[in-house]
Amino acid sequence: MNGYQITFYTEKNRKHGHQTVCEWLLHEVPKLGIRGATVINCAEGIGHAGAHHAAHVLKLTDQPVQIILAVTEEEAERLLDLVRAEHVHVFYMRFPIEFGLIGEDAPQKPSKHRAATRSSSGSGHHQEIKNAN
């Protein structure tokens, strides 16, 4: 499939409303029908205005963050239109790419751990652990 890689560059502490830009994007992406996003916390970088941003041992708020998405042309337009309409202050890059899945999803093997459901840090993704007994 052909489409675009959209990468947003921001800092861990940059806000849009009451959420960080990263949280806001991850909340809005599924509403647009976009199936995935990857967040990368970076060690350091220089912003578009020339300021140095880095993660420090006692202060991670200035840590650079990338939010990367592989999207169709229509999804890219919807996403960028939303970001513009919401007046989100964020730098982005858009690259033409080819993307897709290779192979099939591996079948889930039962775990030897007891049955429980846990959420991974509020991301909305749930993982079920089943007892093999």
Instruction: Give, for all 133 residues of the chain, the pLDDT tens digit.
Output: 999 999 999 988 888 999 999 999 999 999 999 989 999 987 666 666 666 656 655 665 678 899 999 999 999 999 999 999 999 999 999 999 999 999 987 666 666 655 544 334 444 433 333 444 4
Whether residue 83 is contained in a domain is answered as: yes
Task: Measure the CA–CA gap between 109 and 57, rounded to whole angstroms.
Answer: 39
Whether residue 111 is contained in a domain is answered as: no
Whether residue 47 is contained in a domain is answered as: yes
CATH of the domain at 37: 3.30.70.120
Q: Are 109 and 117 in contact (CB under 8 A)?
A: no
Whether residue 106 is contained in a domain is answered as: no
Whether residue 46 is contained in a domain is answered as: yes
β-partners of residue 96 are 4
| Total tally of structural domains belonging to the chain | 1
Q: What is the pTM of this model?
A: 0.71
Please enumerate in sequence order all residues whose Cβ is within 8 A of that of 75, keeping only pairs 6 or more positions apart, or say none: 3, 32, 33, 34
β-partners of residue 44 are 54
Whether residue 108 is contained in a domain is answered as: no
Whether residue 123 is contained in a domain is answered as: no
* Range of the structural domain that residue 31 is part of: 2-98
Whether residue 124 is contained in a domain is answered as: no
